[in-house]
Amino acid sequence: MAGLLVRSATSADFAAIAAVTVATGQHDEWAGTNPAYLGHMLEHGRVVVAELGGQVAAFGAARRIGAGDATVSMLCDLFVDPAAQGRGCGRAMLAELWADAQHRMTFSSLHANAMPLYTSFGLDAWWPLLYLHGDTAALPITKGWAVKPVTAESVARRELDWTSANRLADHEAWATRPAGECVLVSRDFEVVGAATVITSGPDRGMVHLATSPAADDGAAAAAVLQALAQLGGPEHEIGHVCLPAPHPAVRALLAAGWRFEEFDLFMATDPALLDARRAVPSPELA
Ligand SMILES: CC(C)(COP(=O)(O)OP(=O)(O)OC[C@H]1O[C@@H](n2cnc3c(N)ncnc32)[C@H](O)[C@@H]1OP(=O)(O)O)[C@@H](O)C(=O)NCCC(=O)NCCS
């Protein structure tokens, strides 16, 4: 399209990126309005902006996860100012962000332009990612299960052992969010889950949890439930977690009165890029 330019973003673009984020209705704390989030993406990922007629009209960000041939490019953000949607900005930014990426994934919104666009870049839609919320006090604490605060290094070391992905920088960034904390979830002193959680405030809940490959469905569900049940913070403050619809914790949370009004779609070049029965991904960074 004439007058469309895609270029790498710098911190000088943060205000324009924040304006696009707000214009598309995104008001989350960990999003394009937050310089800490954008700084993390600039340092550890790639951020681009699309200019129309010399003005920033859109931005996109991607992050590589894993190493070597198994590296996956996670599309974390793709937002176009409503006045400029449907004019090729999304396609032009994706062509730049995914130029060298063999394995690609994202959590697609239900916006009419999103899924067709990602499909044309080789991704298929596999399962919904549910934005669940509910009363953490409604989740019983099970004997033998413990949730202990630890360092980001400790959590990242477990995740690296279990998945071969080094997520240290992400856990460190999540832990510096307001009320962020890294925890290990154990049953009878055996570590089943390694997570970063938010203990209070509007985002209270789980940001990301890695599950031990030794966990069966019951243990994978319990690791999520216990991390939420033993979250700490104000007892009756709502808790949040994003779960793949096939994750074994979903049924137990719904039965305990948890609800979801929104979901995104996991789209990927290969469904095996994220295990729907075990992954508890952050919606932005997976
Ligand atoms: C989703 C979004 C990033 C896409 O960017 P965009 O600049 O609007 O999209 P583009 O114009 O580059 O491409 C849209 C494509 O969808 C196609 N499309 C739109 N509606 C369609 C429909 N109902 N069925 C099939 N294809 C459709 C268009 O034809 C176009 O494909 P083409 O280039 O082959 O013609 C942008 O619309 C946006 O910011 N939406 C709101 C925020 C959001 O939901 N972001 C996504 C987060 S995952």
Which tens digit of pLDDT belongs to each residue from 105-143?
Answer: 999 999 999 999 999 999 999 999 999 999 999 999 999
CB 264 within 8 A of CB 283: yes
Mean pLDDT of the chain: 97
Q: Where are the domains of the chain?
A: 4-101, 132-273
- Using alpha carbons, select from 58, 92, 101 the residue that is nearest to residue 77: 58
How many whole angstroms from its chain centre is CA 131? 11
Q: How far apart are CA 209 and CA 154, in angstroms?
A: 13
CATH class of 4-101: alpha beta
Using one digit for the tens of pLDDT, what is the confidence trace for 236-256?
A: 789 999 999 999 999 999 999
Q: Whose CA is nearest to atom 36 of ligand 1?
A: 80
Note whether 4-101 and 132-273 share their fold.
yes
Span 168-194, average pLDDT: 98
- Pocket lining: 157 vs ligand 1, CB cutoff 6 Å: no
Q: Which atom of ligand 1 is nearest to the CA of 87?
A: 11
SS3 104: strand
What does the DSSP 8-state code read for residue 186? Answer: E
Ligand 1: nearest atom to the Cα of 80 = 39
On whether the CB atoms of residues 206 and 193 are closer than 8 A, the answer is no
Instruction: Decide: 90 in ligand 1 pocket, CB within 6 A.
Output: yes
Q: What is the pLDDT of residues 6-20, one digit of tens each?
A: 999 999 999 999 999
Whole-model pTM: value is: 0.97
Determine whether the shortest distance from the Cβ of 246 to ligand 1 is under 6 A: no
Alpha helices in 74-216, H assignment, sequence order = 89-97, 114-120, 152-163, 168-175
- Best CA proximity match to 148, nearest among 203, 187, 200: 187
Please tell me the predicted confidence (pLDDT) of residue 232: 83
User: What 8-state DSSP symbol labels residue 61?
Assistant: E
- Best mutation site among 89, 106, 113 for ligand 1 pocket (most ligand atoms within 8 Å of CB): 113
Q: What are phi and psi of 209, to 5 degrees?
A: -135, 130
Q: CATH number of the domain at 132-273, out of 1.10.3470, 3.30.1490, 3.40.50, 3.40.630?
A: 3.40.630
Mean pLDDT of 179-188: 98
Atom of ligand 1 nearest to the CA of 89: 7
* 109 ligand 1 Cβ < 6 A: yes
Q: CA-to-CA distance for 159 and 56, rounded, in angstroms? A: 37
Q: How far is residue 133's CA from residue 174's CA, in Å, rounded to a whole number?
A: 19
Pocket test for ligand 1, best of 117, 120, 282, 284 (most atoms within 8 A of CB): 117
What residue owns the CA closest to ligand 1's atom 4?
90
| Atom 18 in ligand 1: residue holding the nearest Cα | 113
What would the pLDDT profile of 133-173 be if each residue is shown by its tens digit?
999 999 999 999 999 999 999 999 999 999 999 999 999 99
